[in-house]
Amino acid sequence: MSINPLIIEPPMMIAPGALRAVEQQPAGPERMRLHDVSVFYDDVAAVRGASLSIRQGEVLALIGPSGCGKTTLLRTLNRLTELTPGATHSGHITLDGDDIDRLEDTKLRARVSMVFQQPNPFPMSVFDNVAFALREQARRRPRRRELEPLVIGALERAGLYGEIRTALDRPALRLSGGQQQRLCIARAIATDPEILLMDEPCSALDPRSTAVIEELIRSLRDELAIVIVTHNLQQARRIADRVAFMYLGDVVEEGSAEEIFAAPAQERTREYVAGAFG
Amino acid sequence: MRSRRSDDRAERLLGTVACLTFVGIVLMVVFVTQRAAPTFSHEGLSWLGAGGDVDAQIGAMANGAASIHVRVWPLIYGSLLTSGLAVLLALAISLLTAIFIVDLAPRRLRGLMLPVIRLLASVPSVIYGLIGILVLVPFVGNDLITAGQKESVINVIQLTGAGLLVSVAILTVMVTPIITALTIEALAAVPRSWHEGAVALGLNPVRATIAVSLRAIRPAIVAATALAAARALGEAIAVDMVSGGKAFSPNLADGVIFVYEPLRTMASTIIDQGENLSVPAVRSTVYALALLLMFSGLVLSVASRLIRRSLRKYELSS
Amino acid sequence: MVAGESTQPPQLSARRRRAGRRSAVRSWRLRDQVVWLLAWLAGTMLCLVAGSIVVFLAIKGIAYLRPSLLVRSPSPSANQSGSGGFLDPLIGTLTMAAIGTVVATPLAVATALWIVEYGRPRRLAGLVETAVEIVAATPDIVLAIFGLALFQFGIFAPLSFRASSGGVYGRSFLAAGLMMSLIALPLTYAATRNALRAAPSQLREASYALGKTRVATIRRVLLPKVRSDIATGATLGLGRIIGSTAIVVLLLGASLQNSPQGGVPLLGFLRGTGSTLTSYIFENSPSGEGNAPQKAYAAAFVLILIVLILNAAVARIARVGSGAAATAGRLSL
């Protein structure tokens, strides 16, 4: 647990007063629900019996030490675990009531988007990156005129448009790390997903970019449900509405951010939050 | 570092040896150009054009005709047709095979593919030619071409099975491993995170490979295609065995028969005229053809470099 | 399906469900389904073609190959299918392989050493590398013709066949062997150069720090390290030499028998014309003179066996050495 220097000096885009726990928002409708989900890699359980609820308007943070299964749980939500051979699961996950195993995986992932730990923009222009999923989903080849408003909209919501409005056709790989990650977020939300999954999105970035992205998460929260995996407890404190603490594959405790950080019920949660192990 | 004298000596020695290759090349180019000069000076560029029966013209020269007279366009056309079709087919097959290996093949089959490709690449061209002439040509000639079709063109050419179809088939098999191997190698260097990102956006794995990974290695594919084209153009023995031995220009207007028509390529002509090289007229023509082949190789190399440069715009630290 | 808030969890199953391993192809768009089908076809067809070539050659080869063929010389006779063997071509192939490799390997290693370890002046190094690249990209037939032009030139006449009338044909084992070395050169060169480049600089620095000269470093430190890569490159070159036909047909005369030139035993042989397995196959096929397909099949079987053994050898040696050489091999197909 490191002391975030932003607490000391005023950062550019963080609004004052954001340092305390996030204001309680009235939670929206439930979007996804996990029913006793277990995930096995070749018979070794990575996640055991997880039951969680994901609501719109909420940021759910999955916290826990390395190897506790939080990333695996996240990747189960958009069935990305299927890419790993030997992965099986039990239990149900529903998206708006539908069992996600019954949906087409391509359609599922258009509704449940993901941002990865390492920014991975494609070797194309900024515009093509954001328009990528839009082009692939369209029936016939959409014209640039049709795509532009959607692309610009996504870039604006990701807080990137102002910086690159003149450079939409420049290579995406020339952007800085923080810009690339925001581009990946823009790319992920371009298709108007219902859920946004984020796998430690700031761990490869510098503190300033981290602050920008945290603010971004706050603003996106209203339209989407966001699930974020993070090993940075301070970050979880700053941006999470609900927190689930995982340890060795089990969801040990789950509750509002205030409960978990101020008054956790479980011993192990208390130890982790206090920094006894990491 | 001690004793610089031995270093200097070694450097000079190694340098001289290294330059031997370079000097050898220059010498060869000079000699060949000199040998080919008569054809160029005599005919100028019309040498490359069409006009008359190339076989007859070369035959006349071989038998001691006074001057050089030849129009080699049918040979150029034959080379372009066979190599072009073969490279296009090979490109399609290679890309599909790459997709197969990367996304679709079950694990056991995947391990088999690379040895298979290496095997196909190392079969000597004369063996491809042998199988072509002893198996494919009779098959095409007896089982595919109908008597009626043979009848229809009997005045002009004989349809024996040796011709465009078998030539392209063999060249395709010879050239596919080149493109496939280089494509797979280039794919291995593409970060897997791109593919994962595309799948996470809702693309199926095959679509993700095409839209991201293959797109990212376009320069490598271009380079591989150029290599394959040079190889196809230069293949003499196998083509000579299965192309029908007549300098005919297959005509699309003939319908289906088009693929059965015989032809001759530049490379196969060089091999064919191997015995007649003592005749100066034939010799200069053959050398001129060799220069043409070498020149086309250079053109392919330059074109490939230019195309690759324009494709690299969006890659940076890929 | 009821969308919206779910209040009742569906029936829990304790049974493990297999996560769908592959995206259900049936749900894909049509064009992707077509690609899926074609990709499967391409992959399996490639395997089938390779397999059937090997099986076919084996069947035909075993049918027609008799041990006597390996030890008897080709003899001209009316009954082509019954007479003679391919001892001469076999010797020819071995000779080609020997000359080609013996000439190419030191040349390639020296060139690679110079380029990587010295490489001055820069312009010259660039020219040499370009020259090798050009040779690598040039088809066999063009090299054969170029070689013919070279060896018909007066100076090189002693190396080649001189007809009874005194005309220099420029054909001989020596001429063909030298051209063979040219096609093996780029492969050995690339393997050695890649291996040298991959050798960590600490290796050289440590040697210099001990006071060794560059020459000694090369001899004692670098060369031993890249030994197996040189072997890989040489074997790749060997494979290419053995499979080459065009050079043989043009530069060796492609007669069925080996005909030495002049009296001196070894030198006469090398100056004479002859054949190799590849040209033997060519001549015995309907394209050539012999028209004895059985012999062609037998020789083809022997040839493909040699090639397969060489392939296995390359795989074996390359595993011992660094991956650099294997890369060079794949690139210089």
Mean pLDDT of B102-108: 88
Q: Please report the pLDDT score of residue B37 as a whole number.
A: 82
List CB contacts (< 8 A) between A171 and chain B. Answer: 313-316
Mark yes or no for CB contact B197/A171 under 8 Å: no
Instruction: State the average pLDDT over residues C142-171.
Output: 62
List the single residue in B199, B212, B316 with the smallest CB-CB distance to A122: B212
Q: Which pLDDT tens digit goes with each residue over A233-262?
A: 999 999 999 999 999 989 989 999 888 888
The beta-carbon neighbor of A88 closest among C6, C9, C19 is C19
pLDDT of C61 strictly over 60:
yes
Q: CA–CA separation, C317 vs C322, rounded Å?
A: 9
Q: Find chain A residues with C-beta within 8 A of C13's C-beta.
A: 90-92
Q: Chain C closest CA to B45's CA: distance in Å? A: 21
pLDDT of residue C260: 65
* Cβ burial A127-147 (10 Å sphere, 16+ → b, else e): bbbbbbbbebbeeeeeeeeeb
Measured between beta carbons, the chain C residues lying within 8 angstroms of A29 are 4-5
DSSP per position, C116-130? III--SHHHHHHHHH
Tell me the chain B residues in contact with residue C163 when contact means C-beta distances shorter than 8 Å.
Answer: none
At A115 the pLDDT is: 95
CA atoms within 13 A on the CB side of C52: 10
Q: Where are the alpha helices (DSSP H) in chain A?
A: 70-77, 105-111, 126-137, 144-157, 161-164, 177-189, 207-220, 233-239, 257-262, 267-274
Chain B residues 225-264 with CB within 8 Å of chain C: 227, 230-231, 233-237, 240-241
A165 reaches B (C-beta below 8 A): no
User: Which of C3, C13, C27 faces A96 most closely, judged by CB atoms?
Assistant: C3
The answer to whether the CB atoms of B196 and A136 lie below 8 A apart is no
Q: Tell me the mean pLDDT in the region B152-179.
A: 89
**% of chain A with per-residue pLDDT over 70:** 91
pLDDT for the residue C83: 60
Q: Rounded distance, CA B189 to CA B179, Å?
A: 16
pLDDT tens, residue by residue, C223-266:
888 888 888 889 888 988 998 888 888 887 767 666 666 555 67
Of A30, A89, A97, the CB nearest to C19: A89
Number of H helices, E strands in chain B: 15, 0
The verdict on a CB contact (< 8 Å) between B28 and C146 is: yes
How many contacts does B have with C, using Cβ atoms within 8 A? 261
Residues of B in Cβ contact (< 8 Å) with C145:
32, 270, 286-287, 290
A114–B314: do the CB atoms touch at under 8 Å?
no
Question: In percent, how much of chain C has pLDDT > 70?
Answer: 75
Is the Cβ pair C118, B14 closer than 8 Å? yes
Q: Which one of C5, C11, C22 makes the best mutation probe of the A interface by having the most chain A beta carbons within 10 Å?
A: C5
Mean pLDDT over all residues of chain C?
A: 77
**CB–CB of C28 and A97 under 8 A?**
no
Instruction: Output the DSSP codes for B138-184.
Output: HIIIIIIS-HHHHHHTTTT----S-SHHHHHHHHHHHHHHHHHHHHH
Is C114 within 8 Å of B241 when comparing Cβ atoms? no
Contact C40 B100 (CB under 8 A): yes
**Bigger pLDDT: C147 or C309?**
C309
What residues of C are in contact with residue B224 (Cβ under 8 Å)? none
What count of CB pairs under 8 Å joins A to C?
Answer: 63
**A interface toward C at CB cutoff 8 Å?**
29-30, 33, 35-36, 40, 79, 81-82, 85, 87-92, 94, 96-99, 101, 104-106
C63 touches B: beta carbon within 8 Å: no
Task: State the DSSP string of C201-229.
Answer: HHHHHHHHHTT--HHHHIIIIIHHHTHHH
Mean pLDDT score, A12-30 = 55
For position C264, what pLDDT does the model report?
59
**What is the pLDDT, as a whole number, of residue B184?**
92
Contact by Cβ (8 Å): C243, C235: no
Chain C residues closer than 8 Å to B167 by CB: none
Give the count of beta carbons closer than 10 Å to the beta carbon of residue A159: 18
> Mean pLDDT across the stretch C122-136?
83
C285 touching B (Cβ < 8 Å) = yes
Q: By the CB < 8 Å criterion, does A154 face chain B?
A: no
Instruction: Decide if A99 and C10 are in contact by the 8 Å CB cutoff.
Output: yes
Cβ A136 vs Cβ B201: under 8 Å: yes
CA distance B96 to B113: 13
Which chain B residues are Cβ-neighbours of C148 within 8 angstroms? 277
pLDDT of residue C332: 40
Query: Residue C4 and residue A91: Cβ atoms within 8 Å?
Result: no
Over residues A63-77, the mean pLDDT reads: 91
Point out the residue among A120, A174, A187 whose CB comes nearest to the CB of B193: A120
Q: Please give the pLDDT value at position A7.
A: 44
Which residue type is seen at B183?
A: T
Q: Determine the residue of chain B that is closest to C210 in CA distance.
A: B1
Residue C292 to residue B38: CA distance in whole angstroms: 40
CB contacts under 8 A, A 195-254 vs B, are none
- Nearest in space to B213 (alpha carbons), one of B67, B79, B99: B99
Q: How many residues does chain C have?
A: 333
Residue of C nearest to A49 (CA): C14
Q: Give the residue from A118, A116, A114, A120 showing the smallest Cα distance to A172.
A: A120
Compute the distance between CA of residue C63 and CA of residue C52 in angstroms, rounded to an integer: 16
Here the tokens at position C330 are 């794949």
CA angle B243, B249, B251 (to 5 degrees): 110
Instruction: Report the chain A residue with the minimal C-alpha distance to residue C6.
Output: A97
CB-CB under 8 Å, B121 with C32: no
pLDDT digits (tens, 9 = 90+) for C34-60: 999 999 999 999 999 999 999 999 999
Length of chain A: 278
pLDDT digits over C192-210, tens only?
Answer: 888 888 888 888 888 888 8
- Across-strand partners of A113? A196
Interface test with B, best of A75, A115, A122 (most B CBs within 10 A): A122
Q: Verify whether the Cβ–Cβ distance C17 to A90 is below 8 Å.
A: yes
For an interface test with C, the pick among A105, A109, A137, A141 (most C C-beta atoms closer than 10 Å) comes out as A105
Supply the pLDDT for residue C172.
Answer: 78
Asked whether the beta carbons of residue A171 and residue B313 sit closer than 8 angstroms, the reply is yes
Q: What is the pLDDT of residues C2-45, one digit of tens each?
A: 444 444 343 334 445 555 545 677 778 888 999 999 999 999 99
Higher pLDDT, C333 or B215: B215
For residues A152-180, average pLDDT: 90
- Cα gap A130→A151, rounded to integer Å: 6
Select the more confidently predicted residue: B247 or A18.
B247
The closest CB to that of B216, out of A80, A116, A123, belongs to A123
Decide if C160 contacts C175 (C-beta within 8 A). yes
Residue C134: is its pLDDT beyond 60? yes
Ramachandran bin of A67, using left for φ above 0, alpha for ψ from -120 to 50, beta for the remaining angles: left
How close does chain C come to B86, measured CA to CA in Å?
15
